[in-house]
Structure 1
Amino acid sequence: MASQATRNKNRLSITRFLPIMSWLPNYQRIWLRGDVLAGLTVLALLIPEGMAYAEIAGMPPQTAFYAAPIGLLMYAIFGTSRQLVVAVSAAIATMSAAAIGPLAASGSPEYAALTAGLAILAGLVSIFAGLFKLGRIASFFSESVLAGFVTGLALTIAIKQVPKLFGLEGGAGNFWERLYEIIIHLNETHLLTLVVGLFSIALIFLLEHRFHKLPAALIVMVLGIILSSLFAFEALGIKVVGDIPAGLAPPILPSLALDQWLLLIPAALGLALVNFAEAYGPARNFSAKHSYEISANQELVGLGAANLGAGFFQGFSIGSSLSKSAANDRAGAKTPVALIVCAFLTIFVALFFTPLFAPLPEAVLAAVVVVAITGMIKVKAIRRLYHLNRMDFTLAIVAIFGVLTFEALQGLMIAVILSLLALVWRASQSKLSVLGREPGRLIFSDNRWHPDNHTIPGLMILRPDEGLFFANADALRNEIITLVDSAQPPVKVVLLDLEMSNQLDVPSMDMLVELHEELVNRNIDMWLSRLHGPVRRALERGNFFQKINLKNVRPRNLDSMLEYLTADIIDGFEDIEVVRDGLKMTQDVIEKLLTNPTEERREVLENYHQKLAEMLKATKLNSIK
């Protein structure tokens, strides 16, 4: 028995770190057709997008064939989502280029080494974050700020493709500087290049909307290669991709000095954060749709392993792709076997077919990128923010302009800082509920939403609706004193419900001490209820219970209310009303139990029911207000 338990524990540990072992031993043959078809579908998207995104990263097109296969294989082994595709990503490629651009010239060996080094470091950051169970790092982004950040990245990617569509020399700088360069050089547009680019965009959109099951980008890319070969596009002044070496790159550690590795750390941290923030949402959706569990921490490990492999094989940073993941799911992928199939097919293409891509017009690749990133422009999501919450909308707009003005990495820092500031701002707004007892029940709720609630003269029950901490402590104290001073009849006891506070910092403990002193000066007692363990321990360490009698600290508001009723003379019949409502709730429970009881239980329950009915009759009031 013990050995069996040990084996189960060991198996669980293995599957936790190697999720492939949770599904591969139980793989069913009927899944194979869907997985192979899905792998082919992803390949059809990966080839054109991979080459295009490699150029976004400032790398040669062939490096997509170095990064993607190992990334797919590593995620299939270490990732927990069975439909998510981790290969090339426009957003991650853009961030990579933004980080490496200031450090080396694009196309140089140093640039390639730094790009691979960044992928390795980002992978290590992600792996260590997963091993140390930091899966909550995605919460550094609010959804509104992430929508704005991704939209800003999409516009930045688009503006970088415009010169390729118009046959212009690419500019430099941020979005606005590049836009200005394009505008002042529009008279230099190469018309044939523009026609090829616009025709490619239109054809991709047409195929995707009319024949959505066809690989539109791949079809347009093949058509571009054929037309370019037949009509000698390069001789007509249309830029083409040129020779792409066949084969794969061997795994090596980039030859970088220590100071170069250190320079890449900030970018690696940001890249790992964005990578996880982008991947975890779709992964969670797929797991809910197909009824299996994923692990946030293991997803970090899977994404990190994919980037680690991409860097060692002389590629560039990679991430999840929502479009390819959605296509993978629609094609019938049941397991990551689809990723393994796609990885080996990509290797096959890299070994034998890359010379065929030489005549491919760059305008076609730019068109593939422009169409691919349209899904990153979150117009609908931002419009929804405008209608639902103007602060979230403002955060999204500021994040967009931060990315457009300061490039991707600086925009990332702005987005994270905005998220944290928004969190602190919202939590610092004093939100205080005045609680009353709901009619006919022994539970308490906010009087604003339940105006018929019963309140007891002299007892004010207050609940801070955010956790107490340094940013909201003073505002809450001031609001409590204002409510107490304006209350009629005068308050005798303030009962503070601290259910929403999971812990207390020093400023919030100091606030409670000061509030107690101010209430004592007004001849008002201060009681506490619903303290979580960490809050109680913090107050004990701060000697707060030397100032407030421990008998005035109770687990429930009901306990405190009953203590108040027994300790004071109350005008009216609120004490009898509480008894009556308690009896009625007990009677309701018994009536539900009587719907289908055993004969033995029926007799006991009916006896209780009769006695309760007699007690209720005895406590019946002619008028309760």
Structure 2
Amino acid sequence: MPALLPGVELVRSYRRRWLAKDVVAGVVLTTLLVPQGMAYAELAGLPPITGLYTSILCLLGYAVFGPSRILVLGPDSSLGPMIAATILPLVAAGGDPARAIALASMLALLVGAIMIGAAVAKLGFIADLISRPTMTGYLNGLALTILAGQLPKLLGFHADDFPATVRAIVDGEVVPASAAVGIAGIAVILVLNRWLPKIPSVLVMVVLAIGSTWVFGLAGHGVSLVGELPRGFPPLTLPHVSFGDLGTLFAGAVGIALVSLADTISTASAFAARAGQEVHGNKEMTGIGVANVASGLFQGFPVSTSGSRTAVAEQSGARTQLTGVVGAALIVLMIVLVPGLFRNLPQPALAAIVITAALSLTDVPGTVRLWRQRRSEFLLSIAALLGVALLGVLPGIAIAVGLSILNVFRHAWRPYSAVLGKVDGLDGYHDVSSYPEARRLPGLVLYRYDAPLFFANAKTFRDEIRHLARERPQWIVVAAEPMTDVDTTAAGILAELGTDLAEHDTKLVFAELKDPVRRKIAKYGLETVFGPDSIFPTIDDAVDAYRAHTGAR
């Protein structure tokens, strides 16, 4: 039971001296959870109250099933556009909030089911499907998408897309008071984050924005306000959606689950490293999955880990998930007792919260560093960025994953290879392109191929061996230690290559084959093609055998 329910084990091992710190951290965290929850709900195309429902349930679900002691889950800026891209095309014309909530809740249930199923199947490694360069490009593109989508709310008008936004700005539809509130809100958050990072910048901005509504009568100047939130806690609800919508929702859920997992694993690893703890990918998947299911059953939407909220909890002294439980309890009290607390909060202030969160997603220095360090990975990053910006959020994540996989495939298809020689003063054998003075035995070629042999690169390997054979060597010794596998397609090509070389009096020899690979070669029958004297445990053994056979020095 403790392994399945980390929260139960935490209760058993809880120490009284942690209580005050957890409670204080929970209070501080709540000041961030409420405005961000409402802002990210609107980013996802949902009513602000759903962001609070989501925050409550995901915090409670992860507190029981999540393995990390301080990780904070909740509505996230990186998932908002993905949720909107999935559900808004399915919402009836005119926008039905009840239908949008039902679709978002079902999306959360599907994300949770995918996460839990993947955890049971021990598929935690899928978080590695997105490489850092493509993830950087994806997040940069996502930030641009968020910025473009939030400009109308920030400036006080309505627009369906970016060209319409530009036309509205050119036509003078900007509401000056809205623009002033939104731009000032962005400035307050950025300045405080930069110069006074310990002060809760979002809370300060929200308080100032509400105060401005009273002082300047912003509602009379065309500024939209959040208004009174629904009172009370939502009942347990199984969302009702049509069967025809499930395919679209499932496709979106897969992308959301992948991004959420990658974000959670990276965030959990960063904070666990500080505490000297380990991250268990499959347990994290279970915790996130349960959090999403809990959210979906109470009119919520998909959630992920938040690095910024987790950092706030850590800096405030959080010791355990009780911090999140305190935050959830305080949000419940707010919506039950004082639902009108944020009724005078300007909508542009929520847009300012989202935009500053989007800015934190960008990594311009990292992109510049890729340009300087490795142009191919820079191009992958830019391709992912353009995929999101031009084709949309969901196609963008598919492009990011596809590019990552293709990049791995490219490296395996055209791996590094080298001819080796002996270098005075160095042990072993080394690349002659790096050490031109390396000595080689006459008639012997030592060749290393840095990849497993499989259907995609076996012909490349064959062509390089044939190129080396033009020198008419007596032996070609393959330093096979990097070869972690040989598939059946490669085995057939190796058999043809061995026979072809033998006809030209060149012997193909293998050294340092790993035991599993050697067993596969034996199973394929290749040892009968090359002969038992063509496989050696080390390169030195192969060289000594060549010397004994030819007398070369």
TM-score (norm 1): 0.84
Question: What is the root-mean-square deviation of aligned Cα atoms in Å?
Answer: 2.0
How does 1:8-19 map onto structure 2 within 5 Å? Answer: 14-19=1-6
> Which residue number in structure 2 is paired with residue 166 of structure 1?
155
Structure 2 residue identity aligned to 1:563: A
Shift of 1:138: 1.5
Distance in 1, Cα, partners of 2:357 & 2:21: 24
Distance in 2, Cα, partners of 1:451 & 1:353: 78
How does 1:376-391 map onto structure 2 within 5 Å? Answer: 376-391=361-376
Query: What percent of counterpart residues are identical?
Result: 34
Q: Is residue 518 of structure 2 the alignment partner of residue 529 of structure 1?
A: no
> Which residue number in structure 2 is paired with residue 581 of structure 1?
none
Shift of 1:382: 0.8
Structure 2 residue identity aligned to 1:522: H
Q: Deviation digits for residues 112-151 of structure 1, max 9, x if unmatched?
A: 1111000100110011111101111112111101111111
Shift of 1:491: 1.6
**CA 1:63–1:473 in structure 2 vs 1: closer, same or farther (change >3 Å)?**
same
Is the 8 Å Cα contact of residues 492 and 523 (structure 1) preserved in structure 2? yes
* 2:539 aligned residue (557, 560, 567): 557
Structure 2 residue identity aligned to 1:71: C
* 2:250 aligned residue (259, 265, 276): 265
Distance in 2, Cα, partners of 1:79 & 1:457: 63
Q: Is residue 7 of structure 2 the alignment partner of residue 20 of structure 1?
A: yes
> Which residue number in structure 1 is paired with residue 306 of structure 2?
321
**CA 1:190–1:30 in structure 2 vs 1: closer, same or farther (change >3 Å)?**
same
Structure 1 residue identity aligned to 2:316: A
Distance in 2, Cα, partners of 1:515 & 1:524: 11
Q: Is residue 492 of structure 2 the alignment partner of residue 510 of structure 1?
A: yes
Is the 8 Å Cα contact of residues 168 and 174 (structure 2) preserved in structure 1? no
* 1:393 aligned residue (364, 378, 388): 378
* 1:37 aligned residue (19, 24, 27): 24
Q: Is residue 507 of structure 2 the alignment partner of residue 520 of structure 1?
A: no
Distance in 2, Cα, partners of 1:275 & 1:513: 46
> Which residue number in structure 1 is paired with residue 523 of structure 2?
541
Distance in 1, Cα, partners of 2:86 & 2:77: 14
Distance in 1, Cα, partners of 2:196 & 2:61: 33
> Which residue number in structure 1 is paired with residue 112 of structure 2?
123
Is the 8 Å Cα contact of residues 248 and 347 (structure 1) preserved in structure 2? yes
Q: Which moved more, 1:223-232 or 1:121-130?
A: 223-232
Structure of greater Rg: 1
Q: Is residue 451 of structure 2 the alignment partner of residue 469 of structure 1?
A: no
Q: Is residue 204 of structure 2 the alignment partner of residue 219 of structure 1?
A: yes
Q: Which moved more, 1:227-236 or 1:416-425?
A: 227-236
Is the 8 Å Cα contact of residues 20 and 76 (structure 1) preserved in structure 2? yes
Distance in 1, Cα, partners of 2:31 & 2:534: 69
Q: Is residue 338 of structure 2 the alignment partner of residue 349 of structure 1?
A: no
**CA 1:182–1:139 in structure 2 vs 1: closer, same or farther (change >3 Å)?**
farther
Structure 2 residue identity aligned to 1:380: P
Distance in 1, Cα, partners of 2:23 & 2:361: 28
> Which residue number in structure 2 is paired with residue 92 of structure 1?
79
Paired residues, what number?
A: 551
Q: Which moved more, 1:446-455 or 1:516-525?
A: 446-455
Q: Deviation digits for residues 244-267 of structure 1, max 9, x if unmatched?
A: 112211121101233322331111
Q: Deviation digits for residues 553-606 of structure 1, max 9, x if unmatched?
A: 1222222222223333123xxxxxxxxxxxxxxxxxxxxxxxxxxxxxxxxxxx
**CA 1:446–1:182 in structure 2 vs 1: closer, same or farther (change >3 Å)?**
farther
> Which residue number in structure 1 is paired with residue 35 of structure 2?
48
Distance in 2, Cα, partners of 1:543 & 1:108: 66
Is the 8 Å Cα contact of residues 171 and 181 (structure 1) preserved in structure 2? no
Is the 8 Å Cα contact of residues 93 and 316 (structure 1) preserved in structure 2? no
> Which residue number in structure 1 is paired with residue 192 of structure 2?
207
Q: Is residue 264 of structure 2 the alignment partner of residue 279 of structure 1?
A: yes
Q: Which runs of 5+ in 2 are unaligned?
A: none
> Which residue number in structure 2 is paired with residue 3 of structure 1?
none
Structure 2 residue identity aligned to 1:196: V
Is the 8 Å Cα contact of residues 92 and 317 (structure 1) preserved in structure 2? yes
Distance in 2, Cα, partners of 1:69 & 1:454: 69
> Which residue number in structure 2 is paired with residue 360 of structure 1?
345
> Which residue number in structure 1 is paired with residue 100 of structure 2?
111
> Which residue number in structure 2 is paired with residue 67 of structure 1?
54
Distance in 1, Cα, partners of 2:123 & 2:361: 26
Q: Is residue 397 of structure 2 the alignment partner of residue 412 of structure 1?
A: yes
